[in-house]
Amino acid sequence: MKMLSRKTSCDSHGQDSSYFLGWQEYEKNPYDAVQNPSGIIQMGLAENQLSFDLLESWIAENPDAVGLKRNGESIFKELALFQDYHGLPAFKNELVDFMSKIRRNKVKFDPKKLVLNAGATSANETLMFCLADPGDAFLLPVPYYPGFDRDLKWRTGVEIVPIQCSSSNGFKITAPALEEAYMQAQNLGLKVKGVLITNPSNPLGTTTTRSELNDLIDFIAAKGIHMVCDEIYSGTVFDSSSFVSITEALTDRKLEYTQVWNRIHIVYSLSKDLGLPGFRVGMIYSNNETVVSAAIKMSSFGLVSSQTQYLLSRILSDKKFTSKYLKTNQKRLRKRKELLVSGLKNADIKCLKSNAGLFVWVDMRHLLISDTFEAEKELWKRILFEVGLNVSPGSSCHCSEPGWFRMCFANMSVETLKIAMQRIKAFTDYVSSASDKRKHLALVCNSKTRSLAKWVCQLASSDRERDR
């Protein structure tokens, strides 16, 4: 007699992806400059720690906000007892103002059309529940964030059909690729309910062009389907003038209050732009009243605490601080990204040109023994187990071309990033010096318990001495 549900044995969570497997190996052997200098450096975590000092300074200067006080009086009881599906009005008002500021105030948002969720993960899944039935499909441009296999599919039963994008044009979305994906879904007997994109893109670190957005708008208008725009990296754009929100694109085409307007839905979060993933603050913004109503009801399964909302409303209401934060954060991200790109270039590794995000899309096709995903997997194993870097292979992002990897740069110190670059440089020097590439790749680590290569340990030892 079967005692558990089918969901407990369902493999659609994606936990067996190399994206998650790399995390597991990192957790077994994490790098520490003093305690474990030869450990694995985490470059698979898209976390923004570069401007945390600004947040800590604000907290230190505003003890009443942390102490849950208003005008010096405690409101602990009020916040501890209050919980409303709709969220605190003050927080929602500040949140939509913040969203507008990021978009250079070219568009405005209505707090009544905003639904709070416990992070973007919850927001994306909630939208899937609202827009599609089990067995329906959403089209996603590849490569895409590996977590979408979990967020969009696992509990909802929604299928993902890839929109094939190529390095030949910088992985841009094209009208023919959209039509091809739609036809593929139909051939599979799937009903297409919409398209989902991330803008800026994870893992590419690029912003969607206005031309791409117009092609997408035309496509969903012609097919009568929805579009979900995950814009959680909108505040990480190094050049803010290059970011065009889907709302701005629609407004410029005077599509307000049309059927298309009601089929566009935005996902946002404070996890990336403010570097607060632990606060679990995400949201859905939609002009569709039915979607908003249903999403509010569903939000009871993933509410944001009143205490969190109060603290963040105080932070966001400080306009001088948020302006300084966004400007400083963008400068720091650009500088750190350039440091990574420079280090990779020194190792004869190129990257896709990017202007946003917490990562770069790295081209290691020249290091593959063959143009196959099996070769990519073997290279990934070497980088993980011997070089000691947890990076995300393109196959985990469903990239159609083997040899691309995502590397994150904002979750570590400058010193740690430099060590990572020293390791990758030593690795590529070793590879290039090998007279027979096949021989060198035959040394690929087949055992997960294999120790790091000797040259990595030597690097770690010398770095430790320098740090001291």
pLDDT at 219 exceeding the cut of 50: yes
pLDDT at 263 exceeding the cut of 60: yes
234 neighbors 245 (Cβ within 8 angstroms): yes
Spatial separation of the C-alpha atoms in residues 163 and 179, rounded to whole Å: 9
Q: What is the pLDDT of residues 323-367, one digit of tens each?
A: 999 999 999 999 999 999 999 999 999 999 999 999 999 999 999
Spatial separation of the C-alpha atoms in residues 273 and 103, rounded to whole Å: 13
Angle value at C-alpha 151, between 246 and 11, nearest 5 degrees: 145
6-46+331-467 homologous superfamily = Aspartate Aminotransferase, domain 1 (3.90.1150.10)
| Residue 393 DSSP SS3 | strand
pLDDT-derived band of residue 18, with 50, 70 and 90 as boundaries?
confident
Question: What are the sequence ranges of the domains in the chain?
Answer: 6-46+331-467, 62-317
Q: Which residue type occupies 212?
A: E
pLDDT-derived band of residue 187, with 50, 70 and 90 as boundaries?
very high
State residue 39's pLDDT score: 94
| Residue 83 DSSP SS3 | coil
393 neighbors 20 (Cβ within 8 angstroms): no
Token pair of 331, please? 């400068």
| Residue 20 DSSP SS3 | helix
Spatial separation of the C-alpha atoms in residues 144 and 163, rounded to whole Å: 10
Query: Which range has the top average pLDDT, 17-21, 22-26, 380-384?
Result: 380-384
Spatial separation of the C-alpha atoms in residues 450 and 28, rounded to whole Å: 13
State residue 85's pLDDT score: 77
Token pair of 442, please? 């035959």
Nearest to 150 by CA among 181, 192, 122, 178: 122
Spatial separation of the C-alpha atoms in residues 274 and 235, rounded to whole Å: 8
Which stretches of 270-363 are assigned E, i.e. beta strand? 282-286, 350-351, 359-363
Spatial separation of the C-alpha atoms in residues 146 and 19, rounded to whole Å: 7
pLDDT at 24 exceeding the cut of 90: no
The dihedral through the CA atoms of 287, 288, 290, 292 has a sign that is: negative
Check residues 93 and 304 and name the one with the higher pLDDT. 93
pLDDT-derived band of residue 75, with 50, 70 and 90 as boundaries?
confident
pLDDT-derived band of residue 79, with 50, 70 and 90 as boundaries?
confident
Q: Which residue type occupies 115?
A: V
**DSSP string over 401-442:** STTEEEEE-SSS-HHHHHHHHHHHHHHHHHHHH-S-HHHHHT
Angle value at C-alpha 257, between 251 and 259, nearest 5 degrees: 105
User: Who contacts 371 (Cβ-Cβ below 8 Å, separation ≥6)?
Assistant: 365, 402, 403
State residue 11's pLDDT score: 60
Token pair of 301, please? 């399964």
Q: What is the pLDDT of residues 129-162, one digit of tens each?
A: 999 999 999 999 999 999 999 999 999 999 999 9
pLDDT-derived band of residue 68, with 50, 70 and 90 as boundaries?
confident
pLDDT-derived band of residue 442, with 50, 70 and 90 as boundaries?
low
State residue 462's pLDDT score: 46
- pLDDT averaged over every residue in the chain: 88
pLDDT-derived band of residue 65, with 50, 70 and 90 as boundaries?
confident
State residue 8's pLDDT score: 65
Spatial separation of the C-alpha atoms in residues 414 and 174, rounded to whole Å: 37
Q: Is 255 exposed, middle or buried (0-12, 13-18, 19+ CB in 10 A)?
A: middle
State residue 16's pLDDT score: 64
Name the one residue in this structure whose structure tokens are 């909802």. 156
DSSP one-letter code for 196: E
Name the one residue in this structure whose structure tokens are 């602990």. 76
pLDDT-derived band of residue 14, with 50, 70 and 90 as boundaries?
low
User: Who contacts 290 (Cβ-Cβ below 8 Å, separation ≥6)?
Assistant: none
Residues with active-site annotation: 145, 230, 232, 272
Can you give the pTM of this predicted structure? 0.88
pLDDT-derived band of residue 446, with 50, 70 and 90 as boundaries?
very low
User: Who contacts 81 (Cβ-Cβ below 8 Å, separation ≥6)?
Assistant: none
Q: What is the pLDDT of residues 416-426, one digit of tens each?
A: 999 999 999 99
Spatial separation of the C-alpha atoms in residues 363 and 204, rounded to whole Å: 11
Token pair of 146, please? 């590996």
State residue 21's pLDDT score: 85
Spatial separation of the C-alpha atoms in residues 406 and 149, rounded to whole Å: 17
- Least confident among 37-41, 64-68, 237-241: 237-241
Phi, psi torsion values for 22, nearest 5 degrees: -65, -40
Spatial separation of the C-alpha atoms in residues 357 and 151, rounded to whole Å: 20
Number of residues assigned to the chain:
468
pLDDT at 275 exceeding the cut of 90: no
Say if strands 264-269 and 226-230 run parallel, antiparallel, or are unpaired: parallel
Q: Considering the domain delimited by 62-317, tell me its CATH architecture.
A: 3-Layer(aba) Sandwich (3.40)
Say if strands 114-117 and 73-74 run parallel, antiparallel, or are unpaired: unpaired
Angle value at C-alpha 112, between 111 and 115, nearest 5 degrees: 80
Q: What is the pLDDT of residues 452-463, one digit of tens each?
A: 555 455 544 444
State residue 452's pLDDT score: 52
Nearest to 419 by CA among 450, 361, 461: 461
